[in-house]
Amino acid sequence: MEFEIEYQKGRRRRRRRSAAAKFFIWVLQIAAVIFLAWFVINVVLEKTSVLGDSMEETLSDGDSIIVNKFAYLFKKPERGDVIVFKQSGSEHDYYDLKRIVGLPGETIQIKEGAVYINGQEIKEKVNCERMLIPGLAKDPFTLEEGEYFVLGDNRNNSEDSRFANVGTIVEGEIVGKAWLRLNEFGFIGTMNLRREEGEEK
Protein backbone atom coordinates (compact mmCIF):
# COMPACT_ATOMS: atom_id res chain seq x y z
CA MET A 1 0.00 0.00 0.00
CA GLU A 2 2.75 2.42 0.97
CA PHE A 3 4.61 1.55 -2.24
CA GLU A 4 1.50 2.37 -4.30
CA ILE A 5 1.06 5.72 -2.52
CA GLU A 6 4.71 6.63 -3.13
CA TYR A 7 4.37 5.54 -6.76
CA GLN A 8 1.32 7.80 -7.25
CA LYS A 9 3.13 10.72 -5.61
CA GLY A 10 6.11 10.16 -7.91
CA ARG A 11 3.86 10.14 -10.95
CA ARG A 12 2.26 13.43 -9.87
CA ARG A 13 5.70 15.01 -9.34
CA ARG A 14 6.86 13.87 -12.77
CA ARG A 15 3.68 15.25 -14.34
CA ARG A 16 4.20 18.60 -12.59
CA ARG A 17 7.82 18.72 -13.71
CA SER A 18 6.78 17.81 -17.27
CA ALA A 19 4.07 20.48 -17.28
CA ALA A 20 6.52 23.06 -15.90
CA ALA A 21 9.09 22.11 -18.55
CA LYS A 22 6.50 22.39 -21.33
CA PHE A 23 5.38 25.80 -20.02
CA PHE A 24 9.01 27.00 -19.83
CA ILE A 25 9.67 25.87 -23.43
CA TRP A 26 6.46 27.57 -24.57
CA VAL A 27 7.52 30.84 -22.89
CA LEU A 28 10.96 30.60 -24.55
CA GLN A 29 9.37 30.03 -27.95
CA ILE A 30 7.10 33.05 -27.54
CA ALA A 31 10.07 35.18 -26.44
CA ALA A 32 12.12 33.98 -29.42
CA VAL A 33 9.32 34.85 -31.87
CA ILE A 34 8.91 38.32 -30.31
CA PHE A 35 12.67 38.93 -30.43
CA LEU A 36 12.88 37.73 -34.04
CA ALA A 37 10.01 40.01 -35.07
CA TRP A 38 11.66 42.97 -33.28
CA PHE A 39 15.03 42.17 -34.86
CA VAL A 40 13.58 41.99 -38.38
CA ILE A 41 11.52 45.19 -38.00
CA ASN A 42 14.19 47.27 -36.26
CA VAL A 43 17.50 45.88 -37.50
CA VAL A 44 17.03 44.02 -40.80
CA LEU A 45 14.25 46.13 -42.36
CA GLU A 46 13.18 49.73 -42.01
CA LYS A 47 10.21 51.64 -43.34
CA THR A 48 10.76 55.09 -44.79
CA SER A 49 9.16 57.49 -47.25
CA VAL A 50 10.36 58.93 -50.53
CA LEU A 51 10.88 62.69 -50.48
CA GLY A 52 10.85 64.59 -53.77
CA ASP A 53 10.55 63.63 -57.41
CA SER A 54 14.15 62.71 -58.23
CA MET A 55 13.33 59.00 -58.63
CA GLU A 56 10.32 59.39 -60.97
CA GLU A 57 9.07 57.30 -62.79
CA THR A 58 10.30 54.54 -60.49
CA LEU A 59 9.30 56.04 -57.15
CA SER A 60 7.18 59.08 -56.39
CA ASP A 61 7.13 61.65 -53.61
CA GLY A 62 5.38 60.18 -50.57
CA ASP A 63 5.79 56.51 -51.54
CA SER A 64 6.28 54.24 -48.53
CA ILE A 65 9.13 51.81 -48.99
CA ILE A 66 10.89 49.04 -47.08
CA VAL A 67 14.68 49.25 -46.86
CA ASN A 68 16.69 46.02 -46.63
CA LYS A 69 19.48 47.04 -44.25
CA PHE A 70 21.24 43.65 -44.49
CA ALA A 71 21.41 43.63 -48.31
CA TYR A 72 25.09 44.56 -48.34
CA LEU A 73 26.22 42.61 -45.32
CA PHE A 74 27.78 39.84 -47.44
CA LYS A 75 28.00 41.49 -50.87
CA LYS A 76 28.83 44.85 -52.38
CA PRO A 77 26.30 47.23 -53.94
CA GLU A 78 25.81 46.68 -57.66
CA ARG A 79 25.16 48.93 -60.61
CA GLY A 80 21.43 49.51 -60.96
CA ASP A 81 20.66 49.11 -57.23
CA VAL A 82 18.46 51.81 -55.70
CA ILE A 83 20.19 52.63 -52.45
CA VAL A 84 19.08 54.50 -49.36
CA PHE A 85 21.81 56.60 -47.79
CA LYS A 86 22.45 59.29 -45.18
CA GLN A 87 25.48 61.42 -45.90
CA SER A 88 27.95 62.22 -43.14
CA GLY A 89 27.74 65.84 -42.05
CA SER A 90 24.45 66.37 -43.86
CA GLU A 91 22.27 69.05 -42.30
CA HIS A 92 19.01 67.19 -42.91
CA ASP A 93 17.99 64.08 -40.98
CA TYR A 94 16.07 62.23 -43.71
CA TYR A 95 17.29 59.52 -46.06
CA ASP A 96 18.12 60.02 -49.73
CA LEU A 97 17.40 57.51 -52.50
CA LYS A 98 19.33 57.24 -55.73
CA ARG A 99 20.39 54.61 -58.26
CA ILE A 100 23.98 53.38 -58.40
CA VAL A 101 25.55 54.05 -61.79
CA GLY A 102 29.30 54.03 -61.14
CA LEU A 103 31.26 51.53 -59.01
CA PRO A 104 34.59 51.88 -57.16
CA GLY A 105 37.59 52.06 -59.48
CA GLU A 106 35.55 53.03 -62.55
CA THR A 107 36.11 56.20 -64.57
CA ILE A 108 32.91 58.20 -65.00
CA GLN A 109 31.96 60.80 -67.57
CA ILE A 110 28.69 62.27 -68.79
CA LYS A 111 28.71 63.48 -72.37
CA GLU A 112 25.94 64.18 -74.84
CA GLY A 113 23.49 63.35 -72.04
CA ALA A 114 24.70 59.78 -71.52
CA VAL A 115 26.83 58.04 -68.89
CA TYR A 116 30.18 56.64 -69.96
CA ILE A 117 32.03 54.10 -67.83
CA ASN A 118 35.70 53.59 -68.64
CA GLY A 119 35.11 55.29 -71.97
CA GLN A 120 32.08 53.20 -73.01
CA GLU A 121 28.49 54.39 -72.99
CA ILE A 122 26.46 52.22 -70.64
CA LYS A 123 23.12 50.69 -71.52
CA GLU A 124 20.64 52.11 -69.03
CA LYS A 125 18.63 49.58 -67.05
CA VAL A 126 15.66 51.92 -66.55
CA ASN A 127 13.68 54.41 -68.59
CA CYS A 128 15.25 57.83 -68.15
CA GLU A 129 15.94 60.99 -70.11
CA ARG A 130 19.30 61.99 -71.48
CA MET A 131 20.90 64.52 -69.15
CA LEU A 132 21.02 68.20 -69.95
CA ILE A 133 23.53 69.00 -67.19
CA PRO A 134 26.63 66.80 -66.77
CA GLY A 135 27.79 68.74 -63.72
CA LEU A 136 30.92 67.41 -62.04
CA ALA A 137 31.01 64.52 -64.51
CA LYS A 138 31.58 66.75 -67.53
CA ASP A 139 35.21 65.64 -67.45
CA PRO A 140 36.27 62.05 -66.67
CA PHE A 141 37.11 61.19 -63.08
CA THR A 142 37.87 57.93 -61.30
CA LEU A 143 35.99 56.68 -58.25
CA GLU A 144 38.06 55.74 -55.21
CA GLU A 145 37.73 52.49 -53.28
CA GLY A 146 34.34 52.31 -51.52
CA GLU A 147 33.01 55.24 -53.55
CA TYR A 148 29.84 55.19 -55.71
CA PHE A 149 28.40 57.52 -58.35
CA VAL A 150 24.61 57.80 -58.04
CA LEU A 151 21.89 59.39 -60.16
CA GLY A 152 18.17 59.93 -59.77
CA ASP A 153 15.99 58.25 -62.39
CA ASN A 154 14.39 61.64 -63.08
CA ARG A 155 17.70 62.71 -64.56
CA ASN A 156 16.83 66.33 -65.28
CA ASN A 157 15.19 66.95 -61.92
CA SER A 158 17.59 65.32 -59.51
CA GLU A 159 20.35 66.48 -57.16
CA ASP A 160 22.83 63.62 -57.27
CA SER A 161 26.52 62.84 -57.74
CA ARG A 162 26.76 65.37 -60.54
CA PHE A 163 26.48 68.18 -58.00
CA ALA A 164 28.90 69.23 -55.27
CA ASN A 165 26.25 69.32 -52.54
CA VAL A 166 25.78 65.55 -52.98
CA GLY A 167 28.89 64.26 -54.73
CA THR A 168 29.90 60.63 -54.62
CA ILE A 169 28.52 58.31 -51.93
CA VAL A 170 30.90 56.33 -49.75
CA GLU A 171 30.10 52.82 -48.61
CA GLY A 172 29.72 53.75 -44.94
CA GLU A 173 26.90 56.17 -45.77
CA ILE A 174 24.70 53.50 -47.35
CA VAL A 175 21.83 52.46 -45.06
CA GLY A 176 20.56 49.67 -47.29
CA LYS A 177 18.83 48.72 -50.50
CA ALA A 178 15.38 50.02 -51.41
CA TRP A 179 13.44 46.77 -51.59
CA LEU A 180 9.64 47.08 -51.55
CA ARG A 181 7.11 49.79 -52.33
CA LEU A 182 4.16 49.38 -49.99
CA ASN A 183 1.56 51.61 -51.64
CA GLU A 184 0.87 50.12 -55.08
CA PHE A 185 2.86 47.13 -53.86
CA GLY A 186 5.87 46.10 -55.89
CA PHE A 187 9.54 45.12 -55.82
CA ILE A 188 11.57 48.25 -56.55
CA GLY A 189 14.17 46.34 -58.53
CA THR A 190 11.55 45.40 -61.14
CA MET A 191 10.05 48.88 -61.65
CA ASN A 192 10.41 51.20 -64.64
CA LEU A 193 12.71 48.82 -66.51
CA ARG A 194 13.63 49.61 -70.10
CA ARG A 195 12.13 47.12 -72.57
CA GLU A 196 14.11 45.56 -75.36
CA GLU A 197 13.01 46.21 -78.93
CA GLY A 198 10.28 43.81 -79.91
CA GLU A 199 9.58 42.80 -76.31
CA GLU A 200 5.90 42.57 -75.46
CA LYS A 201 4.49 44.78 -72.74
Which active-site residues does the annotation give?
A: 54, 98
The continuous run of DSSP H or E covering 150 comes out as strand 147-151
CA–CA separation, 143 and 129 (whole Å) = 24
Quote the Cα angle for 191-181-147, to 5°. Answer: 70
CA distance linking residue 24 with residue 32, whole number of Å:
12
Q: How far apart are the first and last CA of the chain?
A: 86
3-state secondary structure of 196: coil
